[in-house]
Amino acid sequence: MSAGGRISGGGLFALFALGAAGGLIGDMCHVVSGTTVYLEDPLPYVWRSQLWFPLMVGGGTAALGWIRVRFGPPAEGAGAGIGEVVSMVAAVVGLYALTALVRGEPGEVAVVIVLAAAALICARFARSGFDLLCGALAAVVGMTTEAVMAAVGAFEYASDVPQVAGAATWLLGLYMAYGVVVARLGVALAERLGR
């Protein structure tokens, strides 16, 4: 069966705006806590972020929601109510802030608590295997992108942050939870075609 859904232009813009805003809040937490440092600033800053950062997070959020709806099976339920949308966004933004809060704690403890919180978010909000697949996709693409950006010297994680190839280890959990939630938001915004 073709999944056959699509998100309207307005829906994609909403995902873009939500992703950009959430990214700015989370990146601010990383910058003020010294978790990350921008090494190059070819573009103007927006709050604490280089302009490319919210654009990339917003674009990735819209793209991931589009992928979920275009290729995944329709959700069994009616989407998400306002309370659940608030919960999902607050959970991911709170997890983002948690990754900044654990700066200065032993790296292993930071990784365990962030992954545990991410697992709780994924288990609570994923409604289908495809939502989890979107989480895995976000983790692979996100960590690869961060590793590349770190390798080219755009920014770096503080040396006391546990890392894999220049990307913080706990990003695995943060991107998984983010991807699951964006998948659910995409479904909530989708219009089913041909019904």
Q: Which is nearer to a second copy, 66 or 125 (CB)?
A: 125
User: Of 66 and 131, which CB lies nearer to a second copy in the complex structure?
Assistant: 131
Contact (CB, 8 A) for 17 and 65:
no
* 139 is an interface residue for a second copy by CB under 8 A: no
Binding of a second copy by 21 (CB under 8 A): no
Q: Which x/- pattern, by CB under 8 A, does the window 54-83 give for a second copy?
A: -----------------------------x
Is there binding between residue 12 and a second copy (CB under 8 A)? no
What number of helices (H) and strands (E) belong to the chain? 6, 8
User: Binding to a second copy by residue 124, rule CB under 8 A?
Assistant: yes
The Cα 97–Cα 52 span in angstroms is: 20
What single string gives the DSSP state of each residue in 33-46? Answer: TTSEEES---S-EE
Q: Which of residues 89-108 bind a second copy (CB under 8 A)?
A: 89-91, 93-94, 96-98, 100-102, 105-106, 108
For residue 166, the SS3 value is coil
The verdict on 119 binding a second copy (CB under 8 A) reads yes
Containing H/E element for 7? strand 5-7
Q: Judging by beta carbons within 10 Å of its beta carbon (0-12, 13-18, 19+), is residue 42 exposed, middle or buried?
A: exposed
Could you say which of 18, 63, 117, 133 contacts a second copy (CB under 8 A)? 117
- Residue 156: what are its φ and ψ, rounded to 5°? -150, 155
Q: Which residues of this protein are in contact with a second copy, per CB under 8 A?
A: 25, 28-29, 32-33, 83-84, 86-87, 89-91, 93-94, 96-98, 100-102, 105-106, 108-110, 112-113, 115-117, 119-120, 122-124, 126
